[in-house]
């Protein structure tokens, strides 16, 4: 598994995700500056890390979604290559046209930074084989704009095609109500592309890979990708 | 040539910022405010003196970057 992590001005979780990838694959990812126009040869997985690219100017992820490297990322995805966008990376994927929908301001207008339970909706994609379908995992969330919105037709299509990757839930795996931290439509925390090779999610699995910092529930995603 | 682009949220899209401003106006005692929706304004200066070219460039700017047309509408006014 050869991974590349794209670095935008204002990214700040690239080190975390690089560590998670190194732990799972035994190999450090290449860090690629956003102004590049090509990915390193032989890249299997492109990761857009969390942070505040371009200071969240205009809309979260809007300017990064149109950065020079993004044409290469779109071409990689069109070839069936793996793309993972975490938090700001998810926002960039939506703004860059790689995933449907948009991440709006949290329902309660607050930046939320806490531990959150998620339900793994399916365990048969290259991002989730190390989990079980319906598993409840506990990972960190840290965002001000994580409220997933889309038009009704798109929502129907996403749900109908089983493209919801994770939903916010409580410790028992029950979704809805107070378990939804940000008002996200249908409690959506993560979404796949049509071919299930692109995943965007607001939570931070890369921060839960070491018992020292409170849990290892995030390891499954990187173990899945390492085996993909 | 100067232009003003106004970007607003589409109807039906939840606007928590607008709601918060609405609540603040109410708590300030500003009477008669039924609802508030927040948007963005861009004042743009154009090199071109050709109105049609300017319109085309601004439309491109809106579609490509200034508005996320999933949830936002835009309006272009050229002065």
Domains of chain A with CATH codes: 3-227 (3.40.50.880)
Query: How many other CB atoms are found less than 10 A from the CB of residue A91?
Result: 30
What's the mean per-residue pLDDT of chain A?
Answer: 97
Say what the pLDDT of residue A45 is.
98
Percentage of residues of chain A with pLDDT beyond 70: 100
Contact in structure between A93 and A48 (CB atoms under 8 Å): yes
Q: Which residues sit opposite A199 in a β-bridge?
A: A84, A192
Mean pLDDT of B17-26: 93
Give A45-88 pLDDT, tens digit per residue: 999 999 999 999 999 999 999 999 999 999 999 999 999 999 99
Taking an 8 Å cut-off on Cβ atoms, the answer to whether A59 and B14 are in contact is no
Q: Which residues of B touch A93 (CB under 8 A)?
A: none
**Nearest chain A Cα to B20, which residue?**
A109
Mean pLDDT of B13-25: 90
Q: Where are the alpha helices (DSSP H) in chain A?
A: 14-25, 69-78, 88-95, 152-160, 219-227
Give A146-161 pLDDT, tens digit per residue: 999 999 999 999 999 9
Q: How many CB pairs under 8 A join A and B?
A: 37
Residues with Cβ < 8 Å from A26, sequence gap 6 or more? Answer: none
Percentage of residues of chain B with pLDDT beyond 70: 100
Mean pLDDT of B14-41: 93
Q: What angle do CA B26, B36, A187 make, to 5 degrees?
A: 105
The answer to whether residue A60 is catalytic is no
What would you report as the CA-atom Rg of chain B, rounded to the nearest whole angstrom? Answer: 16
Give A100-143 pLDDT, tens digit per residue: 999 999 999 899 999 999 999 999 999 999 999 999 999 999 99
Is the pLDDT score of A178 beyond 90? yes
Query: How many other CB atoms are found less than 10 A from the CB of residue A223?
Result: 19
Mean pLDDT of B29-42: 95
Three-state secondary structure string covering chain B: CEEEEEEEECCCCCCHHHHHHHHHHHHCCCCCCCCCCCEEEEEEECCCCCHHHHHHHHHHHHHHHHCCCCCEEEEEEEC
Residues with Cβ < 8 Å from B26, sequence gap 6 or more? Answer: B33
Determine what percent of chain A falls in helix, strand and coil, rounding each to the nearest 5: 30, 25, 45
Q: Which of A14, A34, A87, A145 is catalytic?
A: A87
Residues in A 69-98 with any Cβ partner in B closer than 8 A = 95
Tell me the pLDDT band of B16, cut-offs 50, 70 and 90. Answer: confident
A80: helix, strand or coil: coil
Give the tokens for residue A93: 């994927």
How far are the Cα atoms of A88, A213, B7 from residue A58, in angstroms, in the given order?
A: 14, 34, 11
Is the pLDDT score of A228 beyond 90? no
The answer to whether residue A87 is catalytic is yes
What would you report as the CA-atom Rg of chain A, rounded to the nearest whole angstrom? Answer: 16
Q: Give the best residue of A58, A96, A108, A149 to mutate against chain B (max B CB count within 10 A).
A: A58
CA–CA distance, A33 with A117 (Å, rounded to integer): 33
DSSP codes of every residue in A49-73: --B-GGGG-SSTTTTGGGSTHHHHH
Would you mind telling me the total number of residues written for chain B in this entry? Answer: 79
Say what the pLDDT of residue B12 is.
85
Q: Which residues of A touch B13 (CB under 8 A)?
A: 104, 149
Contact in structure between A4 and A47 (CB atoms under 8 Å): yes
CA distance B78 to chain A (A): 21
Mean pLDDT of B12-17: 86
Say what the pLDDT of residue A8 is.
97
The answer to whether residue A206 is catalytic is yes
Say what the pLDDT of residue B13 is.
87
Give B42-79 pLDDT, tens digit per residue: 999 999 889 999 999 999 999 999 999 989 999 999 98
Q: Which domains does chain B carry?
A: 2-78 (3.30.1280.10)
């Amino acid at each position: 598994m050869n991974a590349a992590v794209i670095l935008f001005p204002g990214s700040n979780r690239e080190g975390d995700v690089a560590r998670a990838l190194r732990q799972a694959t035994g190999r450090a990812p290449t860090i690629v500056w956003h102004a590049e126009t090509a990915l390193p040869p032989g890249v299997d997985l492109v990761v857009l890390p969390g942070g505040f690219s371009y200071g969240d100017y205009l809309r979260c992820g809007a300017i990064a979604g149109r950065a020079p490297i993004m044409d290469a990322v779109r071409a990689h995805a069109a070839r069936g290559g793996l793309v993972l966008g975490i938090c700001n990376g998810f926002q960039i994927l939506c703004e860059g046209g790689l995933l449907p929908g948009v991440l709006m301001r949290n329902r309660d207008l607050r930046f939320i930074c806490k531990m959150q339970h998620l339900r793994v909706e399916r365990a048969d994609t290259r991002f989730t084989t190390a989990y079980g379908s319906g598993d409840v995992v506990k990972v960190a969330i840290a965002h001000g704009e994580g409220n997933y919105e889309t038009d009704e037709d798109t929502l129907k299509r996403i749900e109908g095609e089983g493209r919801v990757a994770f939903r916010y839930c409580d410790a028992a795996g029950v979704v809805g109500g107070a378990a939804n931290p940000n008002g996200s439509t249908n409690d959506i925390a993560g979404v796949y592309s049509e071919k299930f090779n692109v995943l965007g999610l607001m939570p931070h699995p890369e921060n839960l890979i070491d018992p020292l910092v409170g849990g290892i529930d995030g390891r499954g995603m990187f173990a899945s990708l390492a085996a993909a | 040539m100067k232009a003003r682009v106004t970007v607003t949220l589409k109807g039906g899209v939840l606007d928590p910022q607008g709601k918060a401003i609405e609540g603040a106006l109410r708590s300030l005692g500003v009477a008669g405010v039924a609802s508030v929706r927040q948007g963005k304004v861009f004042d743009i200066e154009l090199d071109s003196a050709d109105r049609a070219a300017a319109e085309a460039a601004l439309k491109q700017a809106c579609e490509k970057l200034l508005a996320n047309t999933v949830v936002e509408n835009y309006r272009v006014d050229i002065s």
